[in-house]
Amino acid sequence: MKPLIVLLLSFAISIFVVKIIYKEYDLALSARIAMSIMLAFTAVGHFVFTKGMSMMIPKFIPYKESFVYLTGIFEIALAIGLLIPKLKGISGWGLIVFLLLMLPANIYASLNNVNYQKATFDGNGISYLWFRIPLQFLFIVWTYLSSIKIW
């Protein structure tokens, strides 16, 4: 829920800031700014909640904490790439692939009741997916429209 709030608030603020700076509305740029802010916000979680996020990764995958750190760094790189005009397309596709690859971790965490903030197994469970899966697809469509298709 927090990433969605960050995304929407950042988008609303970005619309007005872009209008003031460029003297016209640029919804695609505002959307990329908002997605970049949201990615930076969620990337912080990879460093603050490393243990809990590593619990979201299936047991057969080694070096879970390193993987969590790498995905946090990748989110930061994508956030920056979305803001660089020459990189926005490749960053957009990279983010879409990243979001699709992270979906199984969210499903695994849900099935195992992972609470990544507390690093416990008392999370929301399967009900979390009713929100997370549509949210993940919203992020994918948002990225596609603002970085690749360009409104």
Q: What is the pLDDT of residue 128?
A: 83
Predicted confidence at residue 151, as pLDDT, reads 64
What mean pLDDT is predicted for residues 46-51? 97
Q: What pLDDT shows up at residue 89?
A: 96
DSSP letter string, 53-89: HHTTS-TTSS-HHHHHHHHHHHHHHHHHHHHSTTTHH
Cα-to-chain-centroid distance, residue 148: 17
- Over residues 25-36, mean pLDDT: 97
Average pLDDT, the chain: 95
The pLDDT, as a whole number, for residue 87 is 97
Q: Is 69 left (phi over 0), alpha (psi -120 to 50) or beta?
A: alpha
pLDDT at 7: 98
Is the model's pLDDT at 70 over the cut of 70? yes
Q: What is the mean pLDDT of residues 67-89?
A: 97
Specify the pLDDT at position 75: 98
Model pLDDT for residues 113-137, shown as the tens digit of each residue? 999 999 999 988 888 888 989 999 9
Q: What is the pTM of this model?
A: 0.92
Radius of gyration of the chain (CA): 16
Q: What is the mean pLDDT of residues 64-80?
A: 97
Reduce the DSSP state of residue 150 to 3 states and report it.
Answer: coil
Average the pLDDT over each of 31-35, 126-130, 147-151 and give the range with the smallest value.
147-151
